[in-house]
């Protein structure tokens, strides 16, 4: 579905002042660009511009996961405590779990993750080895009562996650599945304009013996990572499980200087933002929650499981951290809320307005997502707004259009400006749409 909008009708509460409590660029810019609004600590409403980006990211993830045969479902956000008592995690999870009672005094909780719910679902629906392997996923809201929510959507209490769960008949098949999802993640992140580094990670509260975090390097990242400098130069074509997993890359808690096989001068240390985390934990939940399927020999067997997360709402912030300048956001095309910001630089002039309206109609009819600044604001304010919002292209309709038939096209990333005729603009943008 393509989406276009006149700014005069859009709900875009741009902030003129820089919010002083926001410490990192993405948090500041998301507030300034009217993408989110804080309801209370670590809990946000998503406004139209933010929601559009969130959905674009969700769509890239959904397309990626579906392309390897994963099945999307939705599970409840509110879970019964008894499933967690069965797995043995109810007491361990601690204060990060938001607990509540229903009207019958039954213990409930707001799901911080869904290993228990999916294991319960699977034991009800998957009965035979013939139905394996299977990968189920959802994209949904989670709640973790983080001790220090900060950096806006980066470490929130309520956040949007893609969580997937795999079921295999044996360890060999489970490792194949893990590998397939690892590589699928590299593609998904590439499709958002990000180069993720998979680092060996601790399995923490989820449990298990094999785990990778997907990190992007950013000075404002909360994690410290160590990795072989070869990660920076390896070509996209060679970014697969076997090659990358043979290179050293570890999260802080997994790194030890003495045991690191990469020589010091080839080892890089950097701050990273964790955008995904995958786990292979074998029979941990299938055993504790007594989930069996009938194996080929007719005997019951506990399936091998893994879980696979992507921080969908965190990615909105992470992409901004990797793509901004002093003036605002610079969206990669694949996640941009609008492809073009169209600016009527002289809204009081009838001829300029007519040309702007015409171009808006033509572009949107061709399926291009345009945010049309048709408001009465002065041109300078419009340019500043367009820069903050960060559409990849800006088209300015001013005197040069009415007098010479020329429209100014600005590339938001390079800041290059060119003057194009109406048909050159249509050619440039419609050729792109067709090529998609």
Choices 32-40, 274-282, 292-300, 420-428; region in contact with ligand P5A by CB under 6 A: 274-282
Give the β-pairing of 267-282 and 249-251.
unpaired
Phi/psi of residue 208, nearest 5 degrees: 115, 180
Window 166-195: contact mask with ligand P5A (x via CB under 6 A)? ------------------------------
* From candidates 26, 65, 87, 113, binder to ligand P5A by CB under 6 A: 113
Binders in 275-294 for ligand P5A, by CB under 6 A: 275-277, 279
Contact residues for 14 (Cβ-Cβ < 8 A; gap 6+): 32, 33, 34, 385, 388
Window 301-340: contact mask with ligand P5A (x via CB under 6 A)? ------xxx-x-xx--------------------------
Q: Are 304 and 167 in contact (CB under 8 A)?
A: yes
Query: Is 34 an interacting residue with respect to ligand P5A (CB under 6 A)?
Result: no
Binders in 118-147 for ligand P5A, by CB under 6 A: 144, 146
Query: Is 54 an interacting residue with respect to ligand P5A (CB under 6 A)?
Result: no
Q: Are 169 and 304 in contact (CB under 8 A)?
A: yes
- Rounded Cα gap, residues 347 and 56, in angstroms: 31
> Closer CB to ligand P5A, residue 168 or residue 274?
274
> Closer CB to ligand P5A, residue 59 or residue 402?
59
Binders in 72-111 for ligand P5A, by CB under 6 A: none
> Closer CB to ligand P5A, residue 187 or residue 366?
187
Phi/psi of residue 353, nearest 5 degrees: -65, -40
Using left for φ > 0, alpha for ψ between -120 and 50, and beta otherwise, residue 307 falls in beta
Query: Is 163 an interacting residue with respect to ligand P5A (CB under 6 A)?
Result: yes
Residue 52 Cβ vs ligand P5A, minimum distance, rounded to whole Å? 19
Give the β-pairing of 304-311 and 267-282.
antiparallel
Using left for φ > 0, alpha for ψ between -120 and 50, and beta otherwise, residue 290 falls in left
Q: Are 146 and 156 in contact (CB under 8 A)?
A: yes
Choices 8-16, 98-106, 156-164, 322-330; region in contact with ligand P5A by CB under 6 A: 156-164
CA gyration radius, the chain: 24
Site residues (CB under 6 A) for ligand P5A?
113, 144, 146, 155-156, 159, 161, 163, 206, 274-277, 279, 307-309, 311, 313-314
């Amino acid at each position: 579905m393509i989406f276009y909008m006149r700014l005069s009708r859009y709900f875009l509460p741009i902030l003129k002042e820089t919010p002083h409590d926001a410490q990192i660029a993405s948090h500041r810019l998301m507030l300034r660009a009217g993408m989110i609004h804080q309801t209370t600590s670590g809990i946000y409403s998503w406004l139209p511009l933010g929601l559009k980006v969130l959905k674009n990211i969700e769509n890239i993830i959904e397309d990626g996961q579906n392309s390897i045969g994963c099945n999307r479902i939705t599970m409840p956000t509110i879970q019964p405590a008894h499933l967690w008592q069965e797995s043995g995690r109810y007491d361990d999870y601690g204060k990060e779990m938001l607990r509540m009672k229903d009207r019958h005094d039954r213990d409930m909780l707001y799901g911080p993750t869904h290993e228990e719910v999916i294991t319960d679902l699977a034991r009800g629906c998957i009965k035979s080895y013939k139905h394996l392997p299977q990968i189920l996923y959802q994209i949904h809201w989670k709640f973790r009562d983080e001790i220090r929510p900060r950096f806006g959507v980066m470490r929130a209490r309520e956040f949007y996650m893609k969580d997937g769960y795999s079921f295999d008949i044996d360890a060999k098949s489970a490792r194949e599945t893990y590998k397939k999802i690892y590589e699928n993640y590299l593609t998904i992140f590439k499709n958002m304009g990000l180069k993720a580094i998979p680092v060996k990670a601790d399995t923490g509260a989820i449990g298990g013996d094999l785990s990778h975090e997907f990190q992007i390097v950013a000075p404002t990242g909360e994690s410290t990572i160590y990795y072989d400098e070869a990660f920076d130069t390896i070509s996209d074509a060679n970014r697969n499980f076997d090659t990358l997993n043979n290179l050293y890359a570890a999260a802080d808690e997994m790194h030890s200087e003495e045991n690191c096989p990469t020589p010091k001068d080839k080892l890089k240390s950097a701050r990273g933002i964790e955008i995904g985390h995958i786990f292979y934990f074998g029979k941990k939940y299938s055993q504790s929650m007594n989930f069996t399927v009938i194996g080929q020999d007719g005997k019951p067997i506990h399936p091998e499981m893994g879980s696979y997360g992507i921080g969908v709402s965190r990615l909105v912030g992470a992409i901004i951290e990797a793509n901004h300048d002093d003036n605002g956001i610079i969206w990669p095309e694949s996640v941009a809320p609008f492809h073009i910001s169209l600016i009527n630089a002289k809204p009081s002039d009838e001829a300029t307005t007519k040309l702007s309206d015409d171009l808006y109609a033509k572009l949107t009819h061709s399926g291009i997502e345009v945010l049309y600044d048709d408001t009465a604001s002065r041109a300078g304010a419009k340019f500043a707004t367009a820069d903050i919002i960060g559409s990849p292209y800006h088209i300015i309709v001013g005197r040069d259009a009415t007098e010479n038939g020329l429209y100014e096209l600005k590339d938001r990333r390079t800041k290059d400006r060119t003057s194009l005729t109406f048909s050159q603009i249509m050619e440039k943008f419609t050729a792109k749409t067709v090529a998609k």
